[in-house]
């Protein structure tokens, strides 16, 4: 069995449990999450086995399927309303801050101070991990959404050239179509369509993405560039198979893995599916940034928010936080998950080519100021605005709105919930 707890992490755990009865560690942690696909479950197993079994801390698993986490949040609301919150909950972005504002989250300052989180967690992440100066969540990773995942054999059959701009990307999709495979593997769920939209909008310029999704500038939301973004979504819709509606994202990944489709536009959690299937970057599949977005990153971070629990459960809760932020775990977990570590001091030595690229791209974007919260993954705007954007994007993708009408609806939808 692998053991990832370093001497430092163990010392942290001993320090924060001082004065609490030894039997308290047996109380365990109840963990609500939505990591149920093959690659996600494999990554989660690193945390379960490599850390908690070694420490004899009981893990009570509470999985709720659904890639965007919406169903998990519904279950969470019911649990909190009933006065029985889980110990730790997987969360994204503004959802964490929403719960913090309600006073339901615990304080992780002791373990954060002992492990020096302030110095190693990127500032862009800290705005979601802290509330009013207090650490309330432990970030597990940094995902980014503006990726393409391409079947290498299909790409080679199309000439082998990775597309560098929109026109080349469309030409590649046409080549896949000519091969008799589905050009674009997609699952017809609102969050998946929004994930594609992330890349499309970013490909039209960093300033445009920031103005539209970070600043909510009405001129950007309602201008010609936004119409162009919707026009590009219309084009992409023509390359999706007829059975896309309701398909889970990992099943779309499987289409690319199995050679049934040419490419998927998806966050880098998709890499976990390829790795789980025994596929090798550069040999079986190609990872690249959405054409026109190299040098920029739209990010989200899976974090475990820690709820107010009994003192007995708090011991195991703090142990979980310390374990999550241990550098060795950050490396081991993210190698499997497909994401980059949430700590800037973790070596890329154990990562494959896609992982090294993810780490390098994240560092470069952070330095250049081109690291943007993902609209699709709840890191650009709070849930109400995100959901309003979702509604317009998915209605357009499904043919209910023209590009012109979508632009009008987008401006109105955002204004209505601001």
Q: Do residues 251 and 397 share a domain?
A: yes
Boundaries of domain holding 73: 7-144+299-357
- Pair type for strands 285-289 and 261-265: unpaired
What residues contact 91, with CB distance under 8 A and at least 6 apart? 69, 99, 137, 302, 303, 304, 305
* Confidence band for 29, pLDDT divided at 50, 70 and 90: confident
In 125-193, beta strands by DSSP E: 130-131, 134-135, 137-139, 141-144, 147-151, 182-185
Residue 68 pLDDT: 65
Identify the pLDDT of residue 67: 63
Total domain count, the chain: 2
Residue 132 half-sphere exposure, CB side, CA atoms within 13 Å?
Answer: 9
Q: In this structure, are 210 and 346 located in the same domain? A: no
Q: Note whether 169 and 244 are same-domain residues.
A: yes
Q: Which class for 354: exposed (0-12), middle (13-18), buried (19 or more C-beta within 10 A)?
A: buried
Same domain? For 80 and 118 the reply is yes
Residue 368 lies inside a defined structural domain of this protein:
no
Shared domain check, 186 and 175: yes
Same domain, yes or no, for 74 and 22? Answer: yes
In a domain, 370, yes or no: no
Reported as a single tens digit per residue, the pLDDT across 383-411 is: 899 999 999 999 999 999 999 999 999 99
Question: Based on the domain organization, do 289 and 178 belong to the same domain?
Answer: yes
pTM: 0.85
Query: Are residues 156 and 99 part of one domain?
Result: no
Q: Are residues 396 and 327 in the same domain?
A: no
Quick check: is 364 in a domain? no
Q: What is the DSSP letter of 105?
A: B
**C-alpha torsion 22→90→258→184, nearest 10:** -170
pLDDT in tens, 70-89: 889 899 999 999 999 999 99
Least confident of 137-141, 157-161, 366-370: 366-370
CATH of the domain at 246: 3.40.190.10
Per-residue pLDDT of 170-218, as tens digits, reads 999 999 999 999 999 999 999 999 999 999 999 999 999 999 999 999 9
Assigned domain for 269 exists: yes
Does the residue 280 lie in any domain?
yes
Measure the CA angle with vertex 127, ends 123 and 131; round to 5°.
135
Q: Are residues 104 and 242 in the same domain?
A: no
* Residue 171 phi, psi dihedral angles, 5° rounding: -60, -40
Please check whether residue 98 lies inside any domain of the structure: yes
Do 227 and 342 lie in one domain? The reply is no
Are 339 and 385 contained in the same domain?
no
């Amino acid at each position: 069995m692998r053991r990832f707890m370093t001497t430092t992490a163990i010392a942290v755990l001993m320090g924060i449990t001082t004065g609490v009865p030894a039997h308290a560690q047996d109380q365990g942690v109840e963990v609500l999450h939505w990591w149920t696909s093959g690659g996600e479950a494999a990554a989660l197993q690193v945390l379960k086995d490599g850390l908690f079994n070694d420490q004899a801390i009981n893990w009570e698993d509470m999985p709720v399927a659904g890639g965007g986490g919406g169903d998990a949040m519904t279950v969470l609301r019911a649990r909190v309303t009933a006065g029985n919150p889980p110990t730790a909950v997987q969360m994204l972005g503004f959802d964490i801050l929403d719960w913090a504002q309600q006073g339901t989250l615990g304080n992780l300052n002791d373990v954060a101070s002992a492990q020096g989180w302030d110095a190693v967690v990127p500032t862009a992440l800290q705005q979601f991990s802290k509330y009013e100066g207090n650490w309330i969540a432990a970030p597990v990773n940094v995902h980014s959404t503006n990726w393409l995942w391409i079947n290498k054999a299909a790409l080679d059959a199309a000439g082998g050239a990775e597309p560098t701009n929109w026109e080349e990307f469309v030409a590649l999709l046409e080549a896949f179509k000519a091969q008799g495979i589905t050009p674009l593997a997609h699952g017809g769920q609102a969050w998946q369509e929004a994930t594609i939209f992330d890349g499309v909008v970013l490909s039209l310029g960093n300033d445009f993405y920031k103005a539209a999704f970070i600043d909510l500038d009405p001129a950007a939301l309602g201008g010609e560039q936004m119409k162009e973004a919707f026009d590009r979504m219309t084009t992409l819709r023509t390359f999706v198979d007829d059975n896309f509606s309701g398909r889970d994202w990992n099943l779309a990944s499987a289409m690319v893995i199995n050679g049934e489709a040419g490419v998927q536009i998806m966050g880098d959690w998709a890499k976990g599916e390829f790795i789980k299937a025994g596929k090798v970057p550069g040999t079986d599949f190609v990872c690249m940034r959405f054409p026109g977005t190299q040098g920029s990153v739209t990010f989200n971070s899976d974090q475990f928010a820690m709820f107010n629990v009994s003192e007995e459960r708090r011991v195991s809760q703090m142990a979980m936080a310390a374990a999550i932020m241990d550098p060795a775990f950050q490396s081991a977990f993210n190698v499997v998950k497909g994401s980059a570590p949430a700590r800037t001091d973790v070596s890329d030595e154990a990562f494959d080519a896609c992982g090294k690229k993810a780490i390098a791209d994240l560092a470069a974007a952070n330095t250049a100021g081109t690291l943007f919260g993902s609209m699709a993954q709840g890191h650009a705007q709070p849930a109400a605005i995100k959901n309003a954007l979702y509604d317009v994007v998915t209605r357009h993708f499904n043919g209910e709105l023209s590009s012109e009408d979508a632009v009008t609806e987008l401006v109105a939808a955002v204004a209505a919930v601001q």
